[in-house]
């Protein structure tokens, strides 16, 4: 009787070991599959990060913050560029407050019931600004020169402009 008991215990132990082995193998296979998927996702995200960094570098070429010569131009005159950038943008946005139909800078009259307004501004360097304008339906872009006089006042001069056609 004792020998049968040991035989049953031995068979039970072997079955438990086989079950543990197959279960562990399945878990390890699943983890290896997950690891491969995550490594592929990480590689894709790393490639996307590199592409975005390249795009940021390209965009910083035509940006005041990425143009050290433009920053030096104003710093040599004792002008705080952070304050100047905000002053330039605020000055253009203040032109959106006007009476009548003619915008002070935008050379087009609104073709809808709303006013034409400058909505996006990008300072390129120490002389140029790009800006978008819209009346809600029609929109275009402006190329503006600006100058800072000795008293700190900004003068804007519209150099070129374009109104996009409606498709």
> Following DSSP, what letter does each residue of 77-142 receive, concatenated?
TT--HHHHHHHHHHHHHHTT--SSSB-SS--SB-SSSSPPEEEEEEE-SSSEEEEEEESSS-EEEE
- Report whether pLDDT(101) > 90: no
Are 50 and 92 part of one and the same domain? no
pLDDT score at 49: 97
pLDDT score at 79: 87
pLDDT score at 43: 97
Are 93 and 46 part of one and the same domain? no
Q: What is the number of structural domains in the chain?
A: 2
Contacts of 106 (CB under 8 A, 6+ apart): 116, 118, 133, 140, 142, 161
The predicted model gives 101-109 an average pLDDT of: 88
Structure tokens at 62: 């035509």
pLDDT tier, 106 (very low <50, low <70, confident <90, very high otherwise): very high
The predicted model gives 109-132 an average pLDDT of: 91
pLDDT score at 111: 86
Are 19 and 80 part of one and the same domain? no
């Amino acid at each position: 009787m004792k020998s049968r008991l040991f035989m049953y215990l031995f068979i039970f132990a072997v079955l438990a070991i086989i079950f543990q082995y197959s279960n562990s193998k399945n878990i390890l296979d699943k983890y290896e599959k997950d690891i491969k998927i995550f490594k592929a996702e990480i590689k894709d995200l790393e490639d996307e990060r590199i592409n975005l960094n390249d795009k940021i570098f390209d965009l910083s070429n035509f940006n005041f913050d990425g143009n050290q010569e433009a920053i030096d131009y104003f710093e040599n005159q004792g002008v705080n560029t952070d304050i100047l950038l905000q002053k330039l943008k605020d000055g253009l946005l203040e032109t959106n407050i006007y009476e009548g139909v003619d915008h002070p800078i935008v050379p087009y009259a609104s073709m809808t019931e709303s006013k034409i307004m400058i909505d996006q501004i990008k300072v390129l360097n120490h002389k140029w600004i790009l800006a978008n304008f819209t009346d809600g339906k029609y929109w275009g872009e402006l190329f503006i020169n600006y100058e800072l006089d000795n008293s700190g006042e900004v003068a804007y001069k519209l150099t070129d402009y374009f109104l996009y056609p409606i498709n």
